Amino acid sequence: MTKTLYKAFATAAIALSLAGCESQADRDAKPAVVAQLVQNSADMCQRGPVNADKPLYAARLGSILSRVPTEELRTLQTHKITVCLDQREGAQKYGFFDRPITGVYYSAANNLGGTLAIWDQGSQTEDTFPRAGVRRDLTVKYLAEGIEVGLKLPPAGGRLYAAQFGKYNYTKWSTEADFSTSVVNKNPQLKTPPLVKATL
């Protein structure tokens, strides 16, 4: 499946990279990096009822990761972080004045790696929230960038929560203590990662 994923993401990754400022080496490396992350996700993550089809899930996640700079994708690989599309986030409960959760990072129980679950509405339609657009690539990008500049990841079993703000979808990652207690308490299902088996 990995070779198929590589071919599927190569054209899209090159086009998206050309629109940014990545080096030629990073452009060339991106399809393989995306394919590896997607393969790991397809093997490790629970797929929601709409995403039950594995190739469909892989295509959706690959499209998102192809918009993330290669350097940040490598950071996820280095830290053994599994990226999951999480339809539980797409179905979360929140009040009118609440800021919805757009991503949750879960530290692995063995402190080796972790899981990044990103909001998923469960359809092929581009990122859409009930109230505003959500840039899922930025949820991934800002976590990786944070790790690169010293963001303190929680201890084993801990969580970080993401929310997006403003016209340009600034993404803020916060500890559970600093995030909206109201939203966290309304969504206890998000306190466990959407994995089918333990992260290696």
Per-residue pLDDT of the chain (200 residues; tens, 9 = 90+): 555 554 554 444 444 444 467 888 998 999 999 999 999 999 899 877 656 778 888 988 999 999 999 999 999 999 999 999 998 888 888 888 888 899 999 998 765 689 999 988 766 555 444 444 568 899 999 999 999 999 989 988 899 999 988 777 889 999 988 998 989 999 999 999 998 765 44
In angstroms, the Cα distances linking 43 to 2, 7, 33, 128, 140 are: 12, 19, 16, 26, 19
What pLDDT does residue 100 have? 87
Contacts of 173 by beta carbon, 8 Å cutoff, 6+ apart: 103, 105, 142, 143, 146, 151, 160, 161, 162
What pLDDT does residue 184 have? 93
What pLDDT does residue 18 have? 43
**Pair of tokens at residue 85:** 């599309």
CA–CA separation, 6 and 192 (whole Å): 30
Torsion of CA 68, 61, 175, 153, to 10 degrees: -70
